[in-house]
Structure 1
Amino acid sequence: MTMGLSWQQGPLGGATVGRFLTPEPLPQRLLFAEPLRRRMRVKLAGEWIADSEDVVLLHEPGRYPVAYFPLADVRPGVLVSENRATQHRDLGDTAWFSASVGDRSADHVAWQHTALPEFAHVLQGRVAFAWRAMDAFYEEDERIVGHAADAYHRLDIRQSSRHLVVKLEDGVIADTTRPVVLFESGFAPRWYVPREDIDENSLTPAEGQTFCPYKGLASYYDIGSRKKAAWSYPQAWPEVARVSNLVSFEPDKIDVFLDDKKLVLAPGQSVVPHGIDRGLDPGEMLGRGDKIAHPRN
């Protein structure tokens, strides 16, 4: 679950809550490209196949940021042209590549836009790699998981003394005056409750977990007949450790009241579950410490 400049309700997303103050309407779709200004490397079959300080990050509405590498910074001989071409709705003809490293080969793992319109010349001579087809991506010596880091994605966590109550019909599931609120780019505020203020007997662990590149691995709970009505990050990543093991409740699945006002799920807040990167399993994600978050080559 993630968002930023072009995802969810971000400025370039399809359901933004803000607007650009311009005299003329903007196009329905805006693409934004900028230098990443970070060294980025790609590993496949245990070997570095791309290493660049000249990566361009493309933000496209409704998609995760994509890193484009200069072909000159890709290891020679790794990419093999395929007899496969597709059309990008904004960027035109797209050629595809397979990759071969030693005894390992994989199809449809990289692409290049070969007939770019003039406005997109910054992507000329660049190639992008399918994130989950690679073994890992790194910024300097630290592994980046999920997708290329979005510089416009921000999380702020604040302690609150507001009165939050969660109810199922006439029963009280949670009652607290010390909720923690998490503000995340593109999302409405999410309220987290300490477990001491929850009737934990009402929480039934649900099957399945989801992965957020910014917060870690989330577990879910059913509440009565309400499926996955609550979630928790048992071991949230260090950057958001304040919400570790707290519980948040989905206001479209269960009644959540903040200072006696019933909350509703903000429009455009549904998310596409994010898969875990190649070579990482749920146990490793939960245990993300220095060795997991920042594995060395």
Structure 2
Amino acid sequence: MGLSWQQGPLSTSAIGHFLTPEPLPRRLLFAERLRRRMRVRFNGEWIADSENVLLLHEPGRYPVAYFPRADVDPRALVESDKVTRHQDLGDTAWFTVRAGDRTTERAAWQLTAPPGYAAEFEDRVAFAWRAMDAFYEEDERVLGHAADAYHRIDIRTTSRTLEVRSGDAVVARSERPLVLYESGFAPRWYVPRADIDESLLRPVEGQTFCPYKGLCDYYDIGSAHRAAWSYRDAYSEVGRIDGMVSFEPDQVEVRLDGRRLEIEPGQKVVAHGVDRGLDAEETRAR
């Protein structure tokens, strides 16, 4: 997603390439100001509040927000003996986070001596996303990870014919699918339920969470496990796919205008866990 996740330009599995006369390092890190007010809540208290957050984009990772120490409640950080080493940015000191009667070990960290090219990260602290109660931009909760300004979703109508088969059975046939283009992913095709034989979809337990689309339900088709999915309460930003169904082309036969689709390298979704203390109803209420 965005710059560094899935097949974005800073990912190690990027589908594009930089036009440079010399090869670039395999790992490229990118830092930028968030330019939004971000706050961190822990045990009912605001422990960080800043309009000067730096985002670190690192290959294969979600963006990480670094707060100036001056914008963090000093009572919230308790030094520990734990020190690890970041492969690019040097030693990392870890903190226990404390508020009121609650403490969580290894819940925040600081780069203690970043190299000169990353000096802007001196005296900044990052918080483990799931160890906190919540992160906010202004008064709105941000789910999953820090917002990636380079993540984009476009949804388009099409009159192309999409057909899905499982063996001899026609699971779906539609001349009005929607195609969803999402940063770092191949196009995904969504079919209205009226064009699907829903008797062939078997709901399975377990949901995944997308910070940009919401909670995702899955279906088995025949012996194919999780061969289809649907956002039954999609976020308003992607409301056009609400309740529609998409199919995995490596699990069932999916044809677009007669051409069989195949999963592209690196396109398997890495599921994102739900934030700590966040239940399904709250993700829908967003």
User: Can you give the 5+ residue segments of structure 2 that lack an aligned partner in the other structure?
Assistant: none
Residues of 1 paired with 2:186 and 2:269: CA distance?
Answer: 13
Residues of 2 paired with 1:100 and 1:139: CA distance?
Answer: 22
How far apart are 1:74 and its partner, in Å? 0.2
How far apart are 1:284 and its partner, in Å? 2.6
How far apart are 1:14 and its partner, in Å? 1.2
How far apart are 1:269 and its partner, in Å? 1.1
User: Can you give the 5+ residue segments of structure 1 that lack an aligned partner in the other structure?
Assistant: none
- Of all paired residues, the percent bearing the same amino acid is 66
Residues of 2 paired with 1:94 and 1:194: CA distance?
Answer: 49
Structure ranking higher on relative contact order (CA contacts 8 Å, 6+ apart): 1
How far apart are 1:252 and its partner, in Å? 0.7
SS of residue paired to 1:77? helix
Q: What residue in structure 1 maps to residue 24 of structure 2?
A: 26
Residues of 1 paired with 2:40 and 2:211: CA distance?
Answer: 17
1:184-208 CA distance string (max 9 Å, x none) = 0000000000000000000000111
Pair 1:246-2:236 in alignment: no
How far apart are 1:273 and its partner, in Å? 1.6
1:52-201 pair list within 5 angstroms:
52-201=50-199
Q: Which amino acid aligns with 1:218?
A: C
Residues of 2 paired with 1:278 and 1:9: CA distance?
Answer: 27
Pair 1:221-2:227 in alignment: no
Residues of 2 paired with 1:270 and 1:169: CA distance?
Answer: 23
Residues of 1 paired with 2:95 and 2:6: CA distance?
Answer: 30
Runs of 4+ residues over 4 Å off in structure 1: none
Q: Which amino acid aligns with 2:216?
A: A
Q: Which amino acid aligns with 2:203?
A: P
1:129-155 CA distance string (max 9 Å, x none) = 000000000001110000000000000
Q: Which amino acid aligns with 1:205?
A: P
1:158-217 CA distance string (max 9 Å, x none) = 011000000011111000000000000000000000000000000000111000000000
How far apart are 1:271 and its partner, in Å? 2.5
Pair 1:9-2:7 in alignment: yes
Residues of 1 paired with 2:17 and 2:36: CA distance?
Answer: 30
How far apart are 1:247 and its partner, in Å? 0.1
Q: What residue in structure 2 maps to residue 212 of structure 1?
A: 210
Q: What residue in structure 1 maps to residue 230 of structure 2?
A: 232
RMSD: 0.7
How far apart are 1:278 and its partner, in Å? 2.1
Q: Which amino acid aligns with 2:93?
A: A
Q: What residue in structure 2 maps to residue 271 of structure 1?
A: 269
1:276-295 pair list within 5 angstroms:
276-285=274-283, 287-288=284-285, 293=286
Q: Which amino acid aligns with 2:250?
A: D
1:44-55 pair list within 5 angstroms:
44-55=42-53
Q: Which amino acid aligns with 1:63?
A: R
How far apart are 1:270 and its partner, in Å? 1.8
Residues of 2 paired with 1:258 and 1:228: CA distance?
Answer: 20
Q: What residue in structure 1 maps to residue 200 of structure 2?
A: 202
SS of residue paired to 1:252? coil
Residues of 1 paired with 2:231 and 2:159: CA distance?
Answer: 22
> What count of residue pairs does the alignment treat as equivalent?
286
How far apart are 1:272 and its partner, in Å? 2.2
SS of residue paired to 2:75? coil
1:36 alignment partner, one of 30, 34, 38: 34
Q: Which amino acid aligns with 2:248?
A: E
SS of residue paired to 2:74? coil
Q: Which amino acid aligns with 2:236?
A: P
